[in-house]
Amino acid sequence: MRGSTWRFWLVTLATLLTMAVTAALGLWQLDRAAQKRNLQASIDERAALPAWSEADVLRMADPDAGLHRAVRLSGEWVPNATLFLDNRQMEGRPGFYVITPLRLAGSTQAVLVQRGWVPRDFEDRSRVPEVVTPEGGVGVEGRLAPPPGKLYELGKAGAGLIRQNVDLEALTQEWGVPLLALSVVQTGDADDGLRREWPVVAAGVQKHHGYAFQWFGLCALAGFLYVWFQFISPRRKRSLHVSDT
């Protein structure tokens, strides 16, 4: 009896601890979902605002304050500065993101433009496609975004036209053109042969709801198993034993 009592309270304590931890993690995920929901609302609100011009972008004190804002910029492409970011996908197909700095009209500063996607040549992986980069004044429509995301890279950052990752400070030194601390994801007509079916910007609210459901499910499962094995199953066994005798 003493051993059974000790085991009962040990299982009870372990179950309560498990339910408390899993319930707390579920509530934390719901809190994260609420934060992401507010972030998504902010993204949608900024995207619906009137497009900024190059003057608005240059006046921006905090780059993060303008993220996801639509822009309509005028300027000139920096010559001989187009790069191809490797191992980027669009609609499940591997290829390159094409990036080129745009020197903003009336300024010496430039912004890195993620112009679009092109497939790679799998017969000659060192070959890059020809991308039309017109000279003179151009107009670019898009949205403000963080610098291109970085992928895992073995060794030091590469050089040449094909690169795995880029760093804005390093590109500023390489090109001799001061770059703003953000980028522009170009949208609009793709008359330059690039594809621009960019992923929809989402904060990932559903992911946290899914995690919360899993944690609450584990919490409920722990409680159900405790009740079953501590109360229901022993009673069933005693009832069967009495009926047999």
Answer for the pair 143, 49: CB distance below 8 angstroms, yes or no.
no
Residues 37-44: what's their mean pLDDT?
Answer: 85
What pLDDT score was predicted for residue 181?
93
What pLDDT score was predicted for residue 39?
82
What pLDDT score was predicted for residue 158?
64
Q: 105-133 pLDDT, tens per residue?
A: 999 999 999 999 999 887 787 788 888 89
Give one DSSP letter per residue of 126-174, joined into a string: T---------SEEEEEEEEEPSPPPPP-SSS---SSEES---HHHHHHH
What pLDDT score was predicted for residue 93?
87
What pLDDT score was predicted for residue 28?
97
Tally of CB atoms within 10 A around 44 = 13
pLDDT at 238 exceeding the cut of 60:
yes
Q: Which amino acid belongs to residue 41? A: A
Q: 26-30, 87-91, 148-152 — which is least confidently predicted? A: 148-152
Answer for the pair 58, 124: CB distance below 8 angstroms, yes or no.
no
Burial of 46 (0-12, 13-18, 19+ CB in 10 A): middle
pTM, entire model: 0.76
Answer for the pair 66, 85: CB distance below 8 angstroms, yes or no.
no
Q: Say what the alpha-carbon torsion angle 21, 24, 26, 32 is, to the nearest 10 degrees.
A: -130
Q: Which amino acid belongs to residue 67? A: L
What pLDDT score was predicted for residue 151?
81
The Cα–Cα gap between 7 and 229 comes to 12
Average pLDDT, the chain: 88
Q: How would residue 226 be classed by pLDDT, with cut points 50, 70 and 90? A: very high
Please, what's the b/e burial string for 95-119 (b: 16 or more CB within 10 A of its CB; e: otherwise)?
A: bbbbbbbbbbbeeebbbbbbbbbbe
Between 44 and 112, residue with greater pLDDT: 112
Between 121 and 173, residue with greater pLDDT: 173
What pLDDT score was predicted for residue 24?
97
Q: What share of the chain has pLDDT > 70, as a percent? A: 93
What pLDDT score was predicted for residue 183?
96
Q: How would residue 191 be classed by pLDDT, with cut points 50, 70 and 90? A: low
Between 235 and 14, residue with greater pLDDT: 14
Instruction: Give Dmax over CA atoms of the chain in angstroms.
Output: 99
Give one DSSP letter per residue of 174-241, joined into a string: HHT--EEEEEEEE-S--TTS-B--PPPP---HHHHHHHHHHHHHHHHHHHHHHHIIIIIHHHHHHHHH
